[in-house]
Structure 1
């Protein structure tokens, strides 16, 4: 099998896993190395490297999802909705680790100033860089036999996370990536017809 075929198989293997657990055999140091390398090797516009990450294990991972639950409690309309929300958040807390993905807005602003011709694009390009880094991280943990799911509780949790985890004020939270053992497989994935998605011209 070629490297290209291996990569495409890994892409197909990567899924959103919601039943996550703590039965992780990959050591914390190895997991950190996987995540850091995936992010460092991911491309960014002008190589401006705007992506930042905070990796949470153990009590800090649990604390993050307790903070999410506390914040969401004030947003739900009734007890039934709160119970459903709490169950969902507890599912993420049941995972092993969380990666908080941030964008360094100071870097974005600097490039807007330095390259004024493209100033309107740098925020969008930073979002692309975030997406690529997140995807690279997801593939890396998939290859390691782990599952993950991306969540977006920002901006509701931005302030509480910044205070709890000593986040610089110029870092803007973009997503929360939960990692853990795969306790149940993903459901079947459906696809749009190729004719609706692709156009090939020669």
Structure 2
């Protein structure tokens, strides 16, 4: 087997092994320095339309990770007055808080706006392409973390938490929050993966 085939199989194996883990523990499986390097590599080497490089990532570890999920819980608590109804939400927040860290995915809107001014004919597409870039960063980060032995999931508590998160970590107003990715050492297995018939999703002509 040549090295190119071997490399593609390793990459596809990582894709297949990427799952949604809700059961995670506050335990590292690799050093923090390695996590930080993965974040840097994802930001540097994930593509974006027009090479816009509009994606921004924030890594929260330790107390900063805990602070985020306390903030999310309190933000949601203001919207739910019923203690019984809030119980399941609080349990979910505690499970995310119980992880080792969180990656926040943002998009820099000033980059998007500048591209809209520079390329008028594509004006309506740049916000969409910005979301595409963020999605690729999310997938790359998710796959890389799980390849190292972490479990992760993708959450979307924006826009409810956006302003408070910006204030807490002194982030630019021009940053638009897209998603949150809590991760940690897996404590339970992910749910069963189901598939729609692949024949209905692919067309091949040759």
1:190 alignment partner, one of 169, 176, 194: 194
CA contact (8 A) 1:39 1:136 kept: no
CA distance in 2, matches of 1:136, 1:147: 14
Q: Secondary structure at the match of 1:82?
A: helix
1:22 positional shift: 1.5
Q: Runs ≥4 in structure 1, deviation > 4 angstroms?
A: none
2:50 maps to 1:67: no
1:199 positional shift: 1.5
2:44 maps to 1:37: no
Q: Which residue is 2:114 aligned to?
A: 110
| Ranges in structure 2 where 5+ consecutive residues have no aligned partner | none
CA contact (8 A) 1:45 1:126 kept: yes
2:54 alignment partner, one of 10, 30, 50: 50
CA contact (8 A) 1:39 1:137 kept: no
1:11 alignment partner, one of 2, 12, 15: 15
1:24 positional shift: 1.1
Q: Which stretch has the larger CA shift, 124-133 or 32-41?
A: 32-41
CA contact (8 A) 1:111 1:119 kept: yes
CA distance in 1, matches of 2:34, 2:173: 29
1:30 positional shift: 1.1
Q: TM-score, normalised by structure 2?
A: 0.95
Q: Which residue is 2:170 aligned to?
A: 166
2:149 maps to 1:145: yes
Q: Secondary structure at the match of 1:43?
A: coil
| Ranges in structure 1 where 5+ consecutive residues have no aligned partner | none
**What are the within-5 Å matches in structure 2 for residues 72-111 of structure 1?**
72-111=76-115
CA distance in 2, matches of 1:184, 1:190: 18
CA distance in 1, matches of 2:78, 2:205: 52
- What is the CA deviation profile of residues 16-63 of structure 1, one whole-angstrom value per residue up to 9, with x for unaligned ones? 100011121311111011112012100000111000011101111001
CA distance in 2, matches of 1:134, 1:84: 26
1:77 positional shift: 5.0
How many positions carry a matched residue from both structures? 202
CA contact (8 A) 1:39 1:134 kept: no
Q: TM-score, normalised by structure 1?
A: 0.97
Q: Which residue is 1:130 aligned to?
A: 134
CA RMSD in angstroms, aligned pairs only: 1.1
